[in-house]
Structure formats: C-alpha cells, structure tokens
Amino acid sequence: MVLRSEEGKAIGVGDWDQKLHSGQLSSHLKFRFDDGSIYEDTTTFTQKGVFRVLSDHLLESGPTFKDTMEVWTDCRSGQVKVRQSKDGKDKDKVTTQHLNIPADVANGILSILLANLADGAKHTLSMVVAAPKPRIVKLVVSPQSEDEFSIQKTQYKAKTYLVHIDIGGVAGAVAPLVGKQPQDTRVWVLKADVPIFLRSVGPLSAGAPVIQIDLAGPTWPESAK
C-alpha cells in the first residue's frame, strides 16, 4: 500500500497479510513512514459464522503521532494494557484496565468487516481506544454512493463507506467543542466474489493527520520490460 498526505504526496508504504493457524486468523498491518514513524497492528480473530476479535496489539511511534503508544487488548479477558511516552523520550507510563469488551469490537479488522457487509444499511460497531485512557467507542458505518474507477480500460464500481466515531456520554458532547472529535474516515471497497479493500482517507488515530491509503501496483526495472 502507498500512504499519501492530504495534498497527495507519497509519505510512506505499507504491507498487510493474513495467516490461518488452528482455526484462527492473524492479520498483520505495518506502515513505514518516510519520517521514520511506524504504525503496526497485529490482530487475531475468528470467522466461524461471524467475525470475532480475540486479541489486538497496536504500536504507534515516531513524529507522525502525538505520542509513542503500544496497546495490548485481550478481548476474552477484557484486559487492556497501554504503554505510552511523549516523543518516545520520557519514562514510559504503563496502565492496565479491565473493560467489558463487546462481541462486535472491530479493532484491526474494520476493513475486513466493511468488505463483507452484505447490505446497504447503516451499522454500528465497537472499538477499543486508548487515548486519553482505555475506553469503548462506537463506530457508525454509513454506506455512501458508488464511485467508478478503472484499471487500464476496464471500468469498475467501488462501494463507499463513511465511518464516524461516536465517543458517547459527556465526553462525546464536549469533544466537538474542544476540537477533539476525530475526523470521519471514508473507505472504498470493491464488492465482488472476493471483496477487496481499495482506499481509505482519514486519521489512523486520535491527533494523527489525515492519511490517504491506496493499493500499490508493481513497478518493474527497465531490464524486465
């Protein structure tokens, strides 16, 4: 994948792979930014009739992000551990908290869930976030219009989804007033026999800049042409 700024400048690359082991899938996503920042998310989940996240490990580090942060989420026990430091220089602050994590938590598999939505209805999912402290927020997923795109001379249509974070409670009511309401994310998915994530535009986390993520095509050296 290619990472781009809001202005369209390439600022990094990423890889995403999935592996199956003993009935569980492991999804590993890693973005490497030109400024040295790293975003890495490893999620273990099952898909027996429904998608169910078992655990998630998230790492954010470097100047792209407000803080250096590492989050371990065990959905079965409800334990969420957060290691955080300012600019990666201060002494690490480690907190552990127990949450009642709902079955529809989407950490690490949001793109997979969007690719597998079978209807055009609005959906609400859950997500564990770690800032300023571990808590559960709601993701309101609204289907939008279809956008046309082409590969060479072949035309396709991509389904578009808008993902809005609903913080909820008093914090949710105050967040827009103090500029802390996260910006919505827009995701494009090719709906086919094998659905494919195509693009997303939005912040990777609270306080992070808006980033455009696109699938990358291969480039060949002159000797191979």
- The pLDDT tens digits for 102-115 are 999 999 999 999 98
**Calpha distance 61→85 (Å, rounded):** 10
**DSSP labels, 46-84:** E-SSS-EEEEEEEEEESTTSSSEEEEEEETTTTEEEEEE
Q: Do residues 101 and 128 touch, judged by C-beta distance below 8 A? A: yes
Q: What is the pLDDT along the chain (225 residues), one digit of tens a residue?
A: 999 998 999 999 999 999 998 889 999 999 999 999 999 999 999 998 899 999 999 999 999 998 899 999 999 999 999 998 876 566 788 999 999 999 999 999 999 999 888 777 899 999 998 876 888 999 999 999 889 988 888 888 999 999 998 876 545 444 443 346 678 999 999 988 888 899 999 999 877 889 999 998 887 887 765
**Calpha distance 150→157 (Å, rounded):** 8
Prediction pTM value:
0.88
The CB density around residue 222, as the number of other CB atoms within 10 Å, is: 5
The CB density around residue 69, as the number of other CB atoms within 10 Å, is: 20
Phi, psi of 163 (to 5 degrees): -110, 115
Q: Do residues 202 and 211 touch, judged by C-beta distance below 8 A? A: yes
The gap from C-alpha 180 to its chain's centroid, in whole angstroms, comes to 18
Q: Which domains, and CATH codes, for the chain? A: 2-216 (2.40.360)
Q: Determine the pLDDT at residue 173.
A: 43
Q: Determine the pLDDT at residue 177.
A: 36
Q: Where are the alpha helices (DSSP H) in the chain?
A: 110-115, 169-174
**Calpha distance 39→57 (Å, rounded):** 11
Q: Determine the pLDDT at residue 166.
A: 84
Q: Determine the pLDDT at residue 207.
A: 79
Tokens 């956008």 correspond to 147
Q: Look up residue 201 and give its amino acid.
A: V
Q: Do residues 158 and 188 touch, judged by C-beta distance below 8 A? A: yes
Helix-strand-coil split of the chain, %, nearest 5: 10, 55, 40
